[in-house]
């Protein structure tokens, strides 16, 4: 891509669309499958040091990776960024709140909504 080239928008949109489809399908499958919902949503376990790390946090890390990838390959960098933004959007819609890390205690109180 050359300076002033706006084709990056196309790659960002590709990442967003792919991310919305994949993360959306995952959320629909997870929340509509009783066995998986019980195992991964309602039984968070002890988390990491008593904290649950949400998918939005992993997507945030992915944004950093995508930003770094812009120096290596601009097309893939924008696709990764779009994909990760979609992950944050879908996780926020699915949870009904924007959260990256929280105590397992707080999460389990919130997870009761999904029983």
Q: What is the pLDDT of residues 79-100, one digit of tens each?
A: 999 999 999 999 899 888 899 9
Beta bridge partners of 48: 51
In a domain, 49, yes or no: yes
Residue 60 in contact with residue 88, Cβ under 8 Å?
yes
Nearest by Cα to 19 from 58, 73, 49: 58
Q: How many domains does the chain have?
A: 1
Residue range 15-37, pLDDT digits in tens: 999 999 999 998 888 878 888 77
Token duo for residue 18:
């792919």
Average pLDDT over residues 107-115: 68
Q: Which residue's entry shows tokens 């109180």?
A: 109
**pLDDT higher than threshold 70 for residue 45:** no
In a domain, 76, yes or no: yes
Q: Is the pTM of this model over 0.85?
A: no
Domain span including residue 21:
8-114
In a domain, 1, yes or no: no
């Amino acid at each position: 891509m050359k300076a002033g080239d706006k084709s990056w928008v196309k790659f960002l949109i590709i990442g967003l669309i792919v991310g919305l489809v994949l993360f959306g399908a995952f959320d629909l499958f997870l929340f509509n499958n009783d066995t998986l919902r019980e195992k991964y949503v309602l039984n968070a376990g002890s988390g990491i040091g008593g904290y649950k790390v949400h998918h939005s946090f992993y997507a945030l890390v992915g944004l950093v990776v995508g930003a770094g990838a812009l120096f290596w390959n601009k097309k893939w960098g924008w696709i990764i960024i779009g994909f990760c933004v979609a992950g944050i959007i879908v996780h926020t819609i699915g949870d009904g709140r924007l959260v990256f890390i929280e105590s397992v205690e707080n999460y389990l109180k919130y997870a009761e909504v999904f029983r």
